[in-house]
Amino acid sequence: MHQPTLPLSQDLVLIGGGHTHALVLRQWAMRPLPGARLTLINPGPTAPYSGMLPGFVAGHYSRDQLDIDLVRLTGAANARLIIGAATGIDPASGSVRIDTHPAVGFDSCSVDIGITSDMPSLPGFAEYAVPAKPLGPFAARWEAFRAASGPTRVAVIGGGVAGSELAMAMAHALRGRPATIHLIDNSTILSTLPAKSAQRLRDAMRSLEVVLHENVRVTHLSENTVHLDGARSIQADFITGTAGARPYPWLAESGLETHDGFLVVNEKLRTSDKRIFAVGDCAYMAHAPRPKAGVYAVRQAPVLFHNLTSALSSGALKSYKPQKDYLKLISLGEKSALGDRFGVNFAGPWVWRWKDSIDRKFMARFDTLPRMQTPPLPYPRAKGSTAALGPKPLCGGCGAKLGRDALAQAVSTLPPSHRGDIVSLPGDDAAVLTTGGARQVFTTDHLRSFWADPAVMARIAAHHALGDVWAMGADPQAATLSITLPRLSDRLGQRSMTEILTAADQVLREAGAAIVGGHSSIGDELTIGLAVTGLCTRDPITLGGAKDAAALILTKPIGTGVLMAAAMSGTARGAHVAAALEAMQQGQMAASHILRETAEAMTDVTGFGLAGHVQNICTASGLSARLTLDAIPLLTGALDLSGRGEHSSLYTNNRAGFSNIPDTPKTRLLFDPQTGGGLVAAVPEARADETLANLRDAGYPDATRIGYLHSGSPGQVSIS
């Protein structure tokens, strides 16, 4: 018997993509709680694994090997990922504040944000140093620094295990070029380790020529300089710090019980608010205080998963009992390591191999993720249903549009407008209305969700709908929204609607428009549509009007369709998906203001792909186009995915009718449906360079001349 899908009625919010939460997400992918909506909030699309950081710094691992891909992980868990940093929890309202996003409500919440090694009390640190934590920004800065050449000097502030491990890794990474590594501490280096282990690490550092500065106080930093007491100083081109690891300040401002700024938790991993849990380095286990170590975070995961699902379903909670001691495996720069437990130490390449095996085994858990199985097709079934279903799951956004031929044939059955105050030009997405002597453009657009965060979808949908107004050189005026929500409890429905309206309103206000109404309904999935009006103070720019020899200028890279299709299948890299989402949320107001001064014809690049929309300009203007394939800007990762056969469900329909264009991974992207795509404009050749320079100065670095128009068969598009 068919089991009904439960409406979502409880919100579980995970703050931070730390090791514990990553493992909880993996468990959720295998055993989700029906009726619960899961959200992860993290500053970036990936989360570095701390155990492999020294190996990454030394050059033994790539950045890809270091990072847990949270886009793939949340996709497997059917969870939404909010890319942004939490800035506070308000227990009174049951919400989390985020720097990039409307506040998110919760019924249960867990915090796993780690710690920071930023040192605000050290003058100059924020300006001239790179804290070792958070790991993501540190890894990016080190990767860029290591890629340079020539003599270099590095200073590490903090002589504990973390600082010593980093210093040795840096010394190994910079071998072969003149380099000096300084390790600085205000007491004895490695004083927290047993004496024998500390001595072996000191010997390893000396063999790598790490310069030790003990029992010295850093007074302040200036550019490329660490200033010590006694008017001494150390010159350094890269300064980092592992000392003074501290909790994020907003934890103490939450009203929850803290210990030295860390969230106090009991044996159930609960804070002083029973709805809120905390794990990893940001938590203080009052029942069993332990040093900050990743091993505790990893072992908290099964207990946290059980307790979160129990809290959401009124079940019994389990207790977490940490082990008294743990195995410490410390990298020695090269592929050698030291082990220490219960005061016994051992070292050598075999210890590195052991550590490497443990780390790779941990990361392998996130390489092969469970995916929801597609149910078998019913049998018997109507003729043609399999062909209509297509070979790929239906995409969202513009990838879910009706094919252009079917749409054109349906539209062609409509009689011409009988009103004299409406001008609707063939192919243009917006109509021009005349009201009391004023010219107004009117358009509508609607997107099927392809990303689980409704606020992000609202921003993309708003920018996407505004594209038709910007393409005609008009200024946005008013918008109504049409929103379909999946089945939710009233409380979750209100939360989702608030996020959508807040996000859409921000985009529209920045564009000069206002929300004036709308409609909502409940359905199978999230869809967001906008009807938008705009005012024209000059003649609107249409598809027609382009002249022979005009240059074609594109304001944004293409590739969103293939990237989001690959995100659905779990094959896209999270960082590439995040970049595509960011591109879709870039507004076109400044670009429109620049292009409307010179454009002869213009449109936005959306569902029919770049080739299809260029063809629309050609057809309306009675010209042909030649595109310079290698000049067309692509989103990172799109070409590789195209080469691996990934494409949107609308690709085949968009490709039809372009038999003169050969089939290659790059040409396939010409037919990739774009959601929130850029503007493509025909500009007089004499004004092209000036226009491009203005676009790039206005924040469109990928704005490019992609080809030109010429006399020939109307609607013909070719490549060179």
Sign of CA dihedral 484, 489, 490, 495: negative
Q: How far is CA 430 from CA 422, 540, 611, in A?
A: 11, 10, 20
User: What confidence tier does 373 reach under pLDDT thresholds 50, 70, 90?
Assistant: low
Q: Is the pLDDT of residue 417 over 50?
A: yes
Instruction: Check residue 400 and give its pLDDT.
Output: 64
- Could you give the 3-state DSSP secondary structure of residue 13? strand
Q: How far is CA 15 from CA 81, 97, 715, in A?
A: 10, 10, 51
Least confident span in 212-221, 369-378, 491-500, 698-707: 369-378
Architecture of domain 125-241: 3-Layer(bba) Sandwich (3.50)
Domain ranges of the chain: 10-115+247-326, 125-241, 429-540, 542-720
Average pLDDT rounded to a whole number, residues 406-410: 73
User: What confidence tier does 682 reach under pLDDT thresholds 50, 70, 90?
Assistant: very high
| Cβ atoms < 10 Å from Cβ of 217 | 12
Q: Dig out the tokens for 11 from the structure.
A: 């919100």
Helices (H), 131-225: 135-146, 161-173, 195-207
Instruction: Check residue 1 and give its pLDDT.
Output: 37
- Find the length of the chain: 720
Tens digit of each residue's pLDDT (9 = 90 or more) over 448-473? 999 999 999 999 999 999 999 999 99
- Could you give the 3-state DSSP secondary structure of residue 718? strand
Q: Please confirm whether the linkage preceding 134 is cis (ω < 30° from 0).
A: yes
Distance CA 403, CA 651 (A): 9
Q: Is the pLDDT of residue 4 over 60?
A: no
Q: Is the pLDDT of residue 2 over 50?
A: no
- Could you give the 3-state DSSP secondary structure of residue 285? strand
User: What confidence tier does 640 reach under pLDDT thresholds 50, 70, 90?
Assistant: very high
**DSSP one-letter code for 60:** S
- State the burial class of residue 401 (Cβ atoms within 10 Å of its Cβ: 0-12, 13-18, 19+): buried
Same fold, 10-115+247-326 and 125-241: yes
Instruction: Check residue 112 and give its pLDDT.
Output: 96
Instruction: Check residue 425 and give its pLDDT.
Output: 66
Distance CA 620, CA 26 (A): 52
The overall average pLDDT reported for the chain is 91
- Could you give the 3-state DSSP secondary structure of residue 207? helix
Only one residue has tokens 């620094």, namely 145
- Could you give the 3-state DSSP secondary structure of residue 50? helix
Q: How far is CA 247 from CA 111, 134, 262, 292, in A?
A: 12, 11, 6, 11
Q: Which residue has the higher pLDDT, 317 or 414?
A: 317
Least confident span in 71-85, 128-142, 614-628: 128-142
Instruction: Check residue 447 and give its pLDDT.
Output: 92
Instruction: Check residue 397 and give its pLDDT.
Output: 66
Average pLDDT rounded to a whole number, residues 337-346: 84
Q: Comparing C-alpha atoms, which of 515, 543, 542 is closest to residue 531?
A: 515
Instruction: Check residue 426 and give its pLDDT.
Output: 64
Share of the chain above pLDDT 90, in %: 74
**Backbone conformation region of residue 190, classed left if phi is above 0, alpha if psi is from -120 to 50, else beta:** left
Q: What share of the chain is helix, strand, coil (3-state, %, to 5)?
A: 35, 25, 40
Q: Where are the beta strands (DSSP E) in 465-598?
A: 475-486, 514-523, 527-536, 551-554
Average pLDDT rounded to a whole number, residues 204-220: 94
Q: How far is CA 401 from CA 650, 654, 706, in A?
A: 7, 11, 25
Distance CA 115, CA 280 (A): 9
Contact in structure between 212 and 189 (CB atoms under 8 Å) = yes
User: What confidence tier does 195 reach under pLDDT thresholds 50, 70, 90?
Assistant: confident
- Could you give the 3-state DSSP secondary structure of residue 121? coil
Only one residue has tokens 């992860």, namely 40
Q: 542-720: which CATH number, 3.50.30.30, 3.90.650.10, 3.40.640.10, 3.20.19.10?
A: 3.90.650.10
Q: pTM of the predicted model, to two decimals?
A: 0.91
- The topology under which CATH files domain 10-115+247-326 is FAD/NAD(P)-binding domain (3.50.50)
Q: Which residue has the higher pLDDT, 345 or 142?
A: 142
CA atoms within 13 A on the CB side of 635: 30
**DSSP one-letter code for 645:** T
Q: Count H helices and E strands in the chain, helices first.
A: 22, 36
Backbone φ and ψ for 116, nearest 5 degrees, come out as -125, 145
Tens digit of each residue's pLDDT (9 = 90 or more) over 690-704? 999 999 999 999 999
**DSSP one-letter code for 270:** B
Distance CA 308, CA 302 (A): 10
Contact in structure between 317 and 311 (CB atoms under 8 Å) = yes
Residues with a catalytic annotation lie at 398
- Could you give the 3-state DSSP secondary structure of residue 532? strand
Strand partners, 12: 38, 108
Q: Is the pLDDT of residue 663 over 80?
A: yes
Rounded to 10°, the helix 19-30/294-313 angle is 40
Could you tell me whether strands 601-604 and 262-265 are parallel, antiparallel, or unpaired per DSSP bridges? unpaired
Instruction: Check residue 575 and give its pLDDT.
Output: 94
**Backbone conformation region of residue 518, classed left if phi is above 0, alpha if psi is from -120 to 50, else beta:** left
Tens digit of each residue's pLDDT (9 = 90 or more) over 10-60? 999 999 999 999 999 999 999 999 999 999 999 999 999 989 999 999 999
CA atoms within 13 A on the CB side of 633: 19
Instruction: Check residue 584 and give its pLDDT.
Output: 96
Contact in structure between 609 and 670 (CB atoms under 8 Å) = yes
CA-angle at 553, arms to 479 and 544, nearest 5° = 65
Tens digit of each residue's pLDDT (9 = 90 or more) over 290-326? 877 777 788 999 999 999 999 999 889 999 998 877 7
Q: Is the pLDDT of residue 424 over 70?
A: no
Q: Is the pLDDT of residue 607 over 60?
A: yes
For 332-349, give the DSSP string: ESEEEEEEEETTEEEEEH
Domain covering 429-540 in this structure, CATH number: 3.30.1330.10
- Could you give the 3-state DSSP secondary structure of residue 608? coil
